[in-house]
Every structure is written in structure tokens, then in C-alpha cells.
Structure 1
Amino acid sequence: MDSFKETAQACVEEISTVISCTKEEELAAIAQGFKHARRIFISGDGRSGLMGKAIAMRLMHGGYEVYVVGETITPSIGEGDVLLLVSGSASGVAARQVIKKAKQAGAKVMLVTANRETEFGDLCETCLFVPAATKQRKPDEPKTIQPLGNQFDQSIHLLLDAIVVKLTKEKQAEMKARHANLE
């Protein structure tokens, strides 16, 4: 790769491959979860959490009541709510605790992960498997020129954003009115 544009194009091709291997019915299940939720709560650590925050903002612009877990203004989760957990590895004590607490409160849990073998899948009503490389670089993950979990992060950003685009197709004027105006 001789140029920055060629590097960018190689990254785009990688993401295109990941997206083509993602299941439409899993994307549709996430969309339905958003559509029917009383409120949406989004959780994720590190870079996955940043991608989750980006989607939270887009959902808010689309008229959804959405919160990011861990923020000071996030209320308690309850019946009729949905928790979206974004985690490449879908492992760890903290993520398990978030899922358990959400379930105990009567919320439904949706998971977005690159780990098809996660034990969290059994705890969630919906699971979107994104076959992308993560920082673990497991043997079953695709090859990538990108560092760490860039391929997963970029893939989930585009996939979740595509859901928001479809859900908010008729709400462009309303979305502009909800955009921040204290900038």
C-alpha cells in the first residue's frame, strides 16, 4: 500500500467483507428491539463503548429515549427497557453483572459481539454476531491490516448506524431539530 487512500480503501474492503458475512435476521432483531423498547440503554467498555455512544446519539436524534450506562444522568433500567451491550469479546465479570442486573430489573438484553462462543449469548434475547477481528486476534477471526479492534469497531459503527438509518428514514426534519444547538 503506497498511499493513505490505498490504505483507506483496503480498510473499506475489509469492512465490506465483514458486513457481507453478517446475518440480516440478526440485524433485524436488533432493529425490532430498538423499535419496541420503552427506553434503550447502551453499555460497552473502551472503544466498543465509544461506538455505543455514537449510536446512542443517533438514536436520540431519531426520537428514541436512550441512555449510556455509567453516565451521571442514566436512570435505573426496568420493565419494557432494552439494554444493548457492545463487546468484541463478550466476556468479563463487569459485563456479566450488567446483563444480570438488567435481566433482574425486567429489561431485555441485546448483545453485539465478535465472539460467537460467548456464554453471554444464552443470557440475551438477541445476539448480533459481527465476524470481525478484535484485539485478541483469535485464530477464527479474519485477517486485517488494522490494529487492535479497529475492524470490529468500524463494522459495528456502520451496521448499527444502518439500523438507525432505516428506523429514522422518515424523521429527517425531526432529527435536525433534536441536534445539539449549544455548540
Structure 2
Amino acid sequence: MKRLTWLCLFCSTALQAQVNEQLEHSYYDVDASAHALLYPALDQASPIRHDGKVFHGYTDWRVDWRFWWWEEPDGRCRITRTETTLHASIILPRLLAASPAHQQHFAAYISALQQHENGHYQIAQAAARAIDQRLQLTAEQSSCQRLQERANQQANTVRQQHVEQEQRYDRDTEYGKTQGAWLRH
């Protein structure tokens, strides 16, 4: 009987963790019927502009986290539950009107562009999982205030590491060009 009671007490203090994902896809329309080349039609239609450059696809993400803690009578504090949510959106072009040749080029291009954007999403997924894990591993602190500061600092550090990983991903793939997301002008 005592063993069963101890086991149930252990279960009730085990850390609870949860990672949720919310992914939204959206599209912008491209009419290439009046263009001799597909690239200018995509550039003209794209709403994605950063630092004076036009992009045809984009993945945006953020990770939100929450955690709950237990405070001991002496003030020591530890995390007992985490909840991490990945909010992401991928925007891609959708070809409405085009010649058969443009349609053929677009089919290959959009497949590669989608693969590239999915790579960004996979980095975001890894960020959410890593943040949740880091929160779970946050060491007990001498106060709940210190616990909050430490946990948030660690989560922000993990997030920043994944932002930097995304930047390397774009550099290494030349924004998807090495993955086939490239059109001749």
C-alpha cells in the first residue's frame, strides 16, 4: 500500500509538456499570360519584399511558450508544466493563367520552392521542440522570479539559434536555388 501511494505521488509531480503546431498556407495569384517570361510575372505579383528584394515564397514563424512552476516553502522554484506553440505561415504563388510552357516551368519551380519553404518550417518545428525541452530542463532556482528569468532567457537563446540556422539555410541553398527553386529570367 505504501509503495502504491509513493508511486502516485511521483506521478503527480512529473513534468508535463506539450508542443502544439499551427501552420497556415496562403497563396498569391500570378497571371503570366501577358509575359514572355515567367520570372517577371512572379516578381510583379509577389507581395513578399524584404530589404529591396522580391521573393516568391516565404515562411514566417514564431514560438510562444508558457510554463507553470511549483514553489517550495523555502522559496525554491521549479517548472512543473510547459506548453509551447509554433505559429507558422507559408506563402507561395499560384499560377492562374499561363502558356503551356510557363505551366510546365512553374510546376517544377513551385515544387522546389515548396520544398525550400518546408525546410524553413522544419527549422521552426525544431525550434519549438528545442525550446520546450530547454524549458523542461531548466534547473530549480532559488526563487520563482529567478526561475522565470532563467527559463525565458534560455528559450530566447534557443529561438535565436534557430533564426541563425534559418539564415545559414538560405545562404547555403542560395534561397532555394541549389534545391531547384530557380527560374531563368
Give the TM-score category using the shorter length: under 0.3
Normalization by structure 1: what TM-score?
0.27
- Structure 1 or 2, whichever has the larger Rg, is 2
Structure in which a larger fraction of residues adopt strand? 2
